[in-house]
Amino acid sequence: MPHADVTWLDGPDLPPAPARLPSPFDEGPPAALAVAAMAALRARAAAWPEVHAAGLDAPGGGKMFGVLVVRAGDGRLGALRAFSGTLAGAWHHPGWCPPLHDPATHDAILTAGAPRMQHLTAVLAALDHPRCHAALAGALAAVDATDAAALAALDARHQVARADRHQQRAGLLPDDDAARHRLAQASRADTVERRRLLAAQAAARAPLAAAVARWQRRRRALELLRAAWSRHLQRALHDAVVVRDRAGAATPLRALFAPGEPATGAGECAAPRLLAAAFALGLTPVALAEQWWGAPPATGARVDGAFYPACARKCGVIVPHLLRGLDVAPARRFAPPVLAPAPLEVVYEDAWLIAISKPVGLLSVPARDLAIRDSALVRLRARLPDATGPLLVHRLDLDTSGVLLACKDLDTYRRVQAQFADRTVGKRYLAVVAGVVAGDEGQIELPLRVDLDDRPRQIVDPVHGRAAITSWRVLARARGGATTRLELRPHTGRTHQLRVHCAHPSGLGAPIVGDRLYGHAPGHGEGDRLLLHAEELALTHPHTGARLVITAPASF
């Protein structure tokens, strides 16, 4: 294994070491000792050529870095450093913790598999060329359009003839069987004519349709072949990775994830590198911290200078395996605060509707994965024991305060829900974001989906994301540019939509103050809450038809 440098820690201002190793999956702030070690690393690393060459501040160029405070046999404290993936195009740089795999073997596997992958990709690109695909599809579409027009013209002519026959039948004498027979034959002739046209069209269309079907089958087969080859290469890469624990016992990476397969990138994160290097050097882990440096990734959900726990999908198997036998504190998980029982603040109520001003920290509905059952829905049901239907027609995030609307009966619920579905309900939020927002108003369109590796975070995904649209307007700018006060109007209702649209570099690039998921959590100089408030909800009253505007002023 390549050498990893230990930076020895000393000095009177050094924070104390934690009594137990905090879990790398802890969702609270890292140990103060690890935070101090990270600050010292970042200050030194700014002048290092590999960090400078990595282009961390370029769009999408940021990276996760980690430090592990360790204790030597003589009691001295030191720090190891690591980065995730590659840095400036290399898997390893002198002094940094090496990857779990051998870079030369890794590159050799990719080099050997690259020609086949490139060939399959090139064949797919050729199939997708307009001269191949578009020509076939266009020709088939033209034939279908011509056939549809011909059939429509025939049907129109037959309709006129049918009306004429109907009129003739009405004037026939009761015993005029010959005329009735003649009209019936004319009707059957129209039916035969239509069938013959359809048969002729189908026969003419068949060669083109067969060609398109062959193209589709070939493309699908190539896609499956390329995916299979990609999986083969991924398995080969994983087969080359061996994880060595504290005792030096080696376990193949794939064996750790069996019977499933390791996630792409498993073992490449900073945390497993740090732990493996510490054990190889005979050092005992004391505290770990992982921090994002530089610009957010293209998907968003990472902020420069913010600390993050180890990821569950890639590290959730490897890191616990490495930590076996160590005294590790249980991971702290985020949980809603336990709010004291208090009456709901009702801002509007009539015979059919009730709207409250939901406080920060109160769930809209009971969470499936949390022990806390208290929520706005539970409190509303206690207040309205005779109400029917689901009650709540929309939700607010746990960290968001403001207007929350409920319906007292199922019929009202369905009427209001239809307005939400038709996007005719107006929603206005107040937010305070960190930093300067360029411009005075605009609209953000960034499709969103859940981050499968880091629920409940949402990420921007132009391919698989659902459409999300937000209008924004600057209300005020703080002196010195520390914060900007905004009006936000969501036109869609995606999870965390406003938070991601504010934080993402392709949105406003300014996280909402106090955002623990997309910015810096409260307690890091960000106040004590998320500064996002649903200030107004406007809709058509489901029974009176009047325009109803419900407001709840923000407290910030």
**Distance separating alpha carbons of residues 510 and 432, to the nearest angstrom:** 9
Question: Could you tell me the CA-to-CA distances from 139 to 128, 203, 204, 207, 211 in Å, in that order?
Answer: 16, 15, 12, 11, 11
Total Cβ atoms within 10 A of residue 103: 14
Contact 270, 66 (CB under 8 A): yes
Contact 82, 62 (CB under 8 A): no
Contact 271, 288 (CB under 8 A): yes
From the list 220, 225, 287, 296, the residue with the least C-alpha distance to 504 is 296
Say how many Å lie between the first and final Cα of the chain, rounded: 54
Which residue's entry shows tokens 């809603």? 336
Give, as one character, the DSSP assignment of residue 477. Answer: E
**Burial class of 258 by CB neighbour count within 10 A (0 to 12, 13 to 18, 19+):** exposed
458 φ, ψ (degrees, to nearest 5):
-110, 150
Question: Does the annotation count 397 as an active-site position?
Answer: yes
Total Cβ atoms within 10 A of residue 384: 15
**Distance separating alpha carbons of residues 347 and 52, to the nearest angstrom:** 54
From the list 498, 504, 494, the residue with the least C-alpha distance to 530 is 498
Contact 251, 321 (CB under 8 A): yes
Residue type, 161: A
Catalytic residue among 26, 190, 397, 515: 397
SS3 225: helix
Instruction: Estimate to the nearest angstrom the gap between the alpha carbon of 449 and the chain centroid.
Output: 3
Contact 288, 22 (CB under 8 A): yes
Annotated catalytic residues are 397
